[in-house]
């Protein structure tokens, strides 16, 4: 009789990884600037969405000493199907975080900084107070740095959160719609499309001078006309800047890439967005919310000034 007890258990098949097309591949980060930026974030106990979300542009951005700081910890209270950030019960908010963000901005010599966060549904204000403290610290320590924030939706706390943050005066208020309404139940189950749209409307209603920005990912199974409708919805909310980039699957456990959208298709979407009246458009496979954010901000500001001058004339 054969002894089967020692036989190794059959291995379960490993999930197949999708092969990326040539236009989406990037080199591994190895530069001195990359390592210096990484070490600075470690020294100041700061998190970055660049690392936590496995951004493909991290090598390029960190080499240039550009980083998107992620405040309120590295654990999110949501579990979106596209996101690589850890989900669970977050730790206490770090009281030194605002000062450390300002120190990092000063040491990196940033002209423009992007501040984002995890969702903090556990906090009474959704984390809005920490955004305010970070903005205030940056204004105090690096007054010439323009500030862009990328916020969560502040579910059930939206209006007071927006009022507090707008009073602090960021230059750009970004909140991503992420995908088309039809895909929200599977891709962004903890959020509501029209609640996110209303947040962007509320920012403009509170302070029309703050630039608003929003983005979507392509390749999740959305249809072309659905993307056009999202553009129209954003324009109805008076959003100034739209970003469109290729969704990439962080791990086999996350939502699958349904389609790798070609650079030509992205260029076509970008042309349509410009025709719809956005001040600034960024549309390419590697576009991300904060990719080239400083340069885009300068161009958006110039576009607004040109539009206002034309209206006066």
Specify whether the CB–CB gap between 280 and 252 falls below 8 A: no
Question: Which of 183, 175, 134 is CA-nearest to residue 154?
Answer: 175
CA distance 271 to 149: 26
- Torsional class of 101: left (φ above 0), alpha (ψ -120 to 50), beta (otherwise): alpha
Phi, psi of 212 (to 5 degrees): -110, 150
Q: Which are the contacts of 22, defined by CB distance < 8 A and separation ≥ 6?
A: none
- Whether residue 166 is annotated as binding a ligand: the answer is no
- Whether residue 55 is annotated as binding a ligand: the answer is yes
**Which residues are documented as binding site for [4Fe-4S] cluster?**
50, 55, 61, 76, 80, 83, 290
Q: Which residues are annotated as a binding site?
A: 50, 55, 61, 76, 80, 83, 290
């Amino acid at each position: 009789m054969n002894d089967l007890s020692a036989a190794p258990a059959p291995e379960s098949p490993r999930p197949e990884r999708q092969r990326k097309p040539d236009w989406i591949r990037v080199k591994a980060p190895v530069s001195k600037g990359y390592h210096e930026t990484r070490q600075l974030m470690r020294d100041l106990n700061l998190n970055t969405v660049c690392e936590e979300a496995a951004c493909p542009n991290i090598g390029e951005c960190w080499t240039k000493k550009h980083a998107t700081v992620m405040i309120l910890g590295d654990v999110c209270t949501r579990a979106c199907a596209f996101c690589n950030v850890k989900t669970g019960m977050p730790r206490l908010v770090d009281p030194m975080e605002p000062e450390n963000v300002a120190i990092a901005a000063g040491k990196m010599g940033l002209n423009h900084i992007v501040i984002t966060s995890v969702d903090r549904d556990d906090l009474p204000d959704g984390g809005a107070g920490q955004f305010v403290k970070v903005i205030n610290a940056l204004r105090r320590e690096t007054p010439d740095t323009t500030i862009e924030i990328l916020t969560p939706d502040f579910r059930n706390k939206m209006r007071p959160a927006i009022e507090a943050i707008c009073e602090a005066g960021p230059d750009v208020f970004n909140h991503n719609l992420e995908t088309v309404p039809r895909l929200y139940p599977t891709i962004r189950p903890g959020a509501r499309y029209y609640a996110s749209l209303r947040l962007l409307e509320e920012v403009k209603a509170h302070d029309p001078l703050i630039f608003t920005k929003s983005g979507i990912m392509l390749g999740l199974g959305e249809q072309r006309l659905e993307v056009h409708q999202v553009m129209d919805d954003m324009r109805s909310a008076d959003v100034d800047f739209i970003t469109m980039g290729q969704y990439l699957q962080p791990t086999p456990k996350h939502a699958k890439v349904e389609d790798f959208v070609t650079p030509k298709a992205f260029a076509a979407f970008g042309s349509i967005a410009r025709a719809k009246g956005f001040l600034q458009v960024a549309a390419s496979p590697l576009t991300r919310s904060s990719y080239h954010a400083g340069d885009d901000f300068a161009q958006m500001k110039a576009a607004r000034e040109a539009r206002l001058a034309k209206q006066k004339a």
